Amino acid sequence: MNFALAHAAIAFWRTQRLARRLRTRRDVEHWRAARLERFLRRAAPRVDFYAGLDARRLDELPIVDKAIVTANFARLNTKGVTLEAARAALDGGQERVQDLIVGQSTGTSGNRGVFVISEAERFTWLGVMLAKTLPDFPFVRHKVALALPGYSQLYASAAETGRLAIRFFDLALGVDGWRDALTAYAPDTLVAPPKVLRALAERGGLAPQHVFSGAEVLDPLDRQVIEAGFGARVREIYMATEGLFGVACPHGVLHLAEDAVAFEFERPPGPSDLVAPLVTDFTRSTQIMARYRMNDLLRLRADPCACGSPLQAVAAIEGRQDDVFHLRGTGEGGLVLVTPDVVRNAVVDADRRILDFRVVQTGADEIELCLAADLATDAASAAAASLASALRRAGVADADIRLKFGLDMPLDRKLRRVRRAWTPPAK
């Protein structure tokens, strides 16, 4: 076994050992505290961004977001690699700058994020991912199909173990461009965005034992179709440019990766029980990701999962903060904020025949409700009425809800069923 693969093996067995060792929330908190102390003492001070900051507690570090990280890319990695150099390497078909690996996100949200990692970190990532998704590896060989909009050496590293067969299917070519090849490959493990899993499940011809959704939110509408079509439970992978944040257990419940990442939670504006995470990856030391404000809105589970894991369970990823509707209120208090889950539930709960939809805020009081072209008129009317009622209960003045029929299914960008396409004026 070479040095790089040794990192993967160590990370794999350590992750599995931690799963047995961390049995209570107290265990998780003690582990988190110890790892953060080491991270603050050893890793963070190695980059210029935190030079001179002697932080002993996590909350002594500043909160950062995508704009700050982008503007300070070179100051947040140990080799001073600039964002321009990283992007130039990727544009030139290279995935290395100096001795670091350069990668990018799938770009499904429209703007690809860039990251740099060391060779050791690449294989550590691989070991953690395998331990959480295919724990019987390496004793059982697996044929994995990745249907994603972009490939990376993160995925290629898995094939270097010799215990996995991996094939990549590029979403940019369209599902019809490779569906026959995928069927002939007959993977036992399938990883794809939910919209692609749903399309493949509806067409038939595949029988994967392990189904993982990633790159976008897994909606219950899609979950139902995917699991019925494949006869297998779909498990969500919560991952972004900033790291691996969670993997669903065999019961289908998403658990945050608190054995590798520290999570803090903020309450977004408005009357909601959703939270937005701040993430600190204490396993990374090349590019520091500390107190990074994610755009996601999570609904946490208070009750323990049947799998017995003490890692925080997530009831749902409900959307993005960017997609919270800002609508005119009935009083003089200005705009009312309505979270994506309120909008989604109003539409889906209106009629069982609604199997897909899009809701887009296009103005201060303008909403576009798009439904399937063949949906019955009474079901469409019920959806519009239900949405209007939910908005009124939230304190919104009468909004102009415009019905449209015909749904697109974009493969080159993230599917967001609830989306705000209007920017409120600056105060």
Tell me the pLDDT tens digit for each residue of 210-240: 999 988 889 999 999 999 999 999 999 998 7
Average pLDDT score over the chain: 89
Q: How far, in Å, CA of 237 to CA of 25, rounded?
A: 22
- Per-residue burial over 155-180, b if 16 or more Cβ lie within 10 Å, else e, is bebbebbeebbbebbebeeebeebbe
Domains defined for the chain, CATH in brackets? 3-320 (3.40.50.12780), 324-420 (3.30.300)
Tell me the pLDDT tens digit for each residue of 324-346: 999 988 776 678 999 999 999 99
Residues with Cβ within 8 Å of residue 404, at least 6 apart in sequence: 368, 369, 370, 371
Share of the chain above pLDDT 70, in %: 92
- Whether the per-residue pLDDT at 155 is higher than 80: the answer is no
Residue of 112 and 141 predicted with greater confidence: 141
Task: Please report which confidence band the pLDDT of residue 196 belongs to, taking 50, 70 and 90 as the band edges.
Answer: very high
369 near 403, Cβ under 8 Å? yes
- Whether the per-residue pLDDT at 309 is higher than 60: the answer is yes
**Helical pair 377-393 and 340-348, crossing angle rounded to 10 deg:** 140
pTM of the model: 0.89
Tell me the pLDDT tens digit for each residue of 235-250: 999 987 767 899 999 9
- Whether the per-residue pLDDT at 372 is higher than 90: the answer is yes
Average pLDDT over residues 143-160: 67
- Whether the per-residue pLDDT at 153 is higher than 80: the answer is no
